[in-house]
């Protein structure tokens, strides 16, 4: 729109003064100039500002005269809608041209300018950071103080699964399986320790064993009473008890000598001993089974001694120093496995080593794992000066195998027997002295044994057994256990300057011990 006509004034469009002038200037025919926004040329929107006032400074330029500044203040806005005033038929807002100047001779439009956003200062950023840290610290501290204990079980399970999935991803990618692995070790504090629970569980199953016997004095033809005490383990509710053979040896040998009394004392009935019978005993493994006439006894639970690891918890329960200290509990660890120690008559036992205190009287008691399961039968201790914490126990897997056989057959079934006793004083020096070959000197032959039937005699020197040269009973036993009763073995002996080869059929060892 180039021309505008308001009332009696005609306006002409003036060219912009410069390229940056975005408004169009209009020159009134009567000499008045005003500025209009080009974006709404020719548009006069309806508005009603009856209650609004505004103040605007208008520059009025008269033709040929100086510029005057007319202050229009508190001008009352007039409502219009692109129509002519009913009071004036001309294109004006009033009958008076002066009124037209005051009320409608200029054009205005309200435009909101965008507010300028101020960049935050460094001080404001520091304040925000400090306040955020304080709030964050308060929230984290409150979590660990109050919320973490309540959600620990569930969070523990979540993180365990998360860690596990990470380990699987490492493995599947072909990297080191241990790379990134996190092991979480948790020590749970409870009111009762593991040892307390073990003692409570197993102590009722550990009994006291007492043997009283009489010995004769050949000098004064008088008898004296002796006593030995040890420990035992209830292995069946109907009165079967496992112990060491040396604990009941005096009662076992009473078959061939004076009478002996074998008694069992239960922890719950210390003032009421039970008389016991020997079911069977095996001196080679130092194990025996006895029985009392009782029912509903608390039997122990067996563990697996083949799976023992060095450093595992080991708890010993027994009667050290006799029944006065019945039910004593000592604690240690598994110090070693498959330890071989010598026992009487040149025999050896393969045992568990522990530093749990084992003293005389503990023999026949239980060595237990962290679950309260029996893993060994306490049997020996190295008591020499300068040694401490060297206790030994028979592995329960071997002990159970022997005692099961004793309960069923009264002896260890399937064990081959040669049937000789050797002279331990015979050695290489003696052999050279008498100019005889080195071997095993037979001191005695068991009647009706394989050696007896095969022709072996006392005084023979066994130089070979089953085709192998031998110089000790232990070497014969190692070869013998590879056979079963009934097998025939070639035995080479030196007798009176001759070397003989005898065919010996091994018999079965029925070392029955029964009262």
Share of the chain above pLDDT 90, in %: 43
Token pair, residue 381, equals: 């201790």
| φ/ψ bin of 42: left (φ > 0), alpha (ψ from -120 to 50), beta (otherwise) | left
pLDDT at 295 over 60: yes
Token pair, residue 297, equals: 């006894």
Greater confidence (57 vs 440) lies with 440
Residue 92: predicted pLDDT:
39
Among all chains, which residue has been given the structure tokens 């007896």?
452
Half-sphere exposure of 295 (CA within 13 A, CB side): 0
Greater confidence (489 vs 124) lies with 489
Q: How many CB atoms lie within 10 A of CB 65?
A: 9
Provide mean pLDDT across the span 156-174: 46
363 is catalytic: yes
DSSP 40: G
| 209-242 per-position pLDDT tens digit | 999 987 766 566 666 778 889 999 999 999 999 9
Residue 2: predicted pLDDT:
45
pTM of the model: 0.58
Q: What is the distance between the alpha carbons of residues 426 and 471, in angstroms, rounded to a whole number?
A: 10
Q: What is the distance between the alpha carbons of residues 380 and 343, in angstroms, rounded to a whole number?
A: 9
Residue 221: predicted pLDDT:
60
Half-sphere exposure of 370 (CA within 13 A, CB side): 9
| 301-319 per-position pLDDT tens digit | 999 999 999 999 999 999 9
154 is catalytic: no
List the catalytic residue out of 335, 363, 422, 507: 363
Which has the closest alpha carbon to 452: 441, 442, 438?
A: 442
Q: Residue 417: exposed, middle, or buried by beta-carbon count in 10 A (0-12, 13-18, 19+)? A: middle
Query: 347: Cβ–Cβ under 8 A, 6 or more apart, which residues?
Result: 284
Q: Which residues of 185-211 are buried (b: 16+ CB within 10 A; e: fewer)?
A: eeeeeeeeeebeebbebbbbbbbbbbb
| 57-79 per-position pLDDT tens digit | 444 444 444 444 444 433 444 43
Q: What is the distance between the alpha carbons of residues 384 and 358, in angstroms, rounded to a whole number?
A: 14
Residue 4: predicted pLDDT:
45
Domain boundaries, the chain: 4-104, 117-186, 194-409, 416-508
DSSP 486: T
Contact 230, 364 (CB under 8 A): yes
Q: Does CATH place domain 194-409 in 2.70.150.10?
A: no
Q: What is the distance between the alpha carbons of residues 415 and 508, in angstroms, rounded to a whole number?
A: 6
According to the 3-state scheme, what is the secondary structure of 131-199? HHHHHHHHHHHHHHHHHHHHHHHHHHHHHHHHHHHHHHHHHHCCCCCCCCCCCCCCCCCCCCCHHHHHH
Residue 318: predicted pLDDT:
94
| The CATH number of the domain covering residues in 416-508 | 2.30.42.10
Please tell me if the domain spanning 194-409 has the same topology as the one spanning 416-508.
Answer: no
Among all chains, which residue has been given the structure tokens 């053979």?
245
List the catalytic residue out of 85, 228, 286, 405: 286
483 is catalytic: no
Contact 103, 94 (CB under 8 A): yes
pLDDT at 157 over 60: no
According to the 3-state scheme, what is the secondary structure of 386-446? CCCCCEEEEEHHHHHHHHHHHHHHCCCCCCEECCEEECCCCCHHHHHHCCCCCCEEEEEEC
Contact 377, 367 (CB under 8 A): yes
């Amino acid at each position: 729109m180039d021309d505008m006509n308001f009332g009696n004034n005609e306006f002409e469009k003036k060219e912009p003064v410069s390229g940056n002038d975005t408004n169009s200037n209009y020159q009134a025919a009567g000499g008045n100039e005003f500025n209009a926004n080009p974006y709404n040329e020719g548009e006069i929107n309806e508005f009603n500002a009856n209650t609004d006032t505004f103040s605007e400074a208008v520059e009025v330029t008269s033709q040929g005269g100086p510029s005057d500044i007319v202050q229009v203040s508190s001008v009352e806005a007039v409502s219009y809608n692109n129509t002519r005033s009913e009071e004036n038929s001309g294109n004006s807002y009033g009958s008076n041209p002066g009124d037209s100047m005051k009320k409608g001779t200029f054009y205005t439009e309200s435009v909101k300018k965008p507010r300028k956003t101020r960049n935050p200062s460094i001080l404001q950023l520091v304040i925000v950071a400090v306040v955020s840290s304080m709030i964050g610290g308060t929230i984290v501290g409150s979590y660990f103080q109050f919320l973490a204990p309540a959600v620990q079980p569930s969070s523990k399970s979540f993180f365990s699964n998360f860690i596990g999935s990470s380990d699987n991803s490492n493995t599947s990618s072909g990297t080191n399986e241990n790379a990134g692995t996190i092991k979480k070790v948790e020590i749970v504090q409870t009111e009762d320790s593991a040892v307390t629970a073990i003692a409570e569980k197993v102590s009722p199953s550990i009994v006291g064993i007492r043997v009283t016997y009489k010995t004769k004095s050949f000098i004064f033809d008088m008898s004296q009473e002796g006593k030995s005490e040890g420990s035992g383990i209830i292995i069946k509710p109907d009165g079967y008890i496992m112990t060491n053979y040396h604990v009941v040896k005096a009662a076992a040998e009473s078959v061939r000598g004076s009478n002996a009394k074998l008694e069992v004392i239960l922890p719950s009935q210390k003032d009421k001993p039970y008389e016991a019978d020997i079911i069977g005993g095996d001196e080679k493994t130092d194990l025996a089974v006895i029985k009392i006439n009782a029912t509903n006894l608390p039997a122990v639970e067996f563990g697996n001694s083949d799976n023992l690891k060095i450093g595992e918890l080991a708890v010993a329960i027994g009667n050290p120093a006799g029944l006065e200290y019945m039910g004593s509990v000592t604690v240690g660890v598994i110090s070693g496995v498959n330890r071989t120690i010598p026992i009487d008559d040149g025999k050896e036992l393969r045992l568990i080593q522990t530093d749990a205190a084992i003293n005389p009287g503990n023999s026949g008691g239980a060595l237990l794992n962290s679950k309260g399961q029996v893993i060994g039968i306490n049997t020996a201790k190295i008591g020499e000066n300068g040694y401490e914490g060297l206790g030994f126990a028979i592995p329960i897997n071997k002990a159970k195998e022997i005692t099961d056989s004793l309960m069923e057959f009264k002896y260890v079934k399937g064990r081959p027997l040669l049937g000789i006793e050797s002279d331990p004083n015979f050695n290489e020096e003696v052999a050279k002295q008498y100019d005889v070959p080195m071997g095993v000197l037979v001191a005695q032959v068991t009647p009706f044994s394989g050696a007896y039937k095969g022709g072996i005699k006392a005084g023979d020197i066994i130089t070979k057994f089953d085709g192998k040269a031998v110089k000790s009973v232990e070497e014969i036993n190692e070869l013998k256990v590879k056979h079963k009763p009934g097998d025939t073995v070639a035995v080479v002996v030196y007798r009176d300057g001759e070397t003989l080869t005898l065919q010996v059929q091994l018999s079965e060892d029925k070392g029955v011990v029964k009262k």
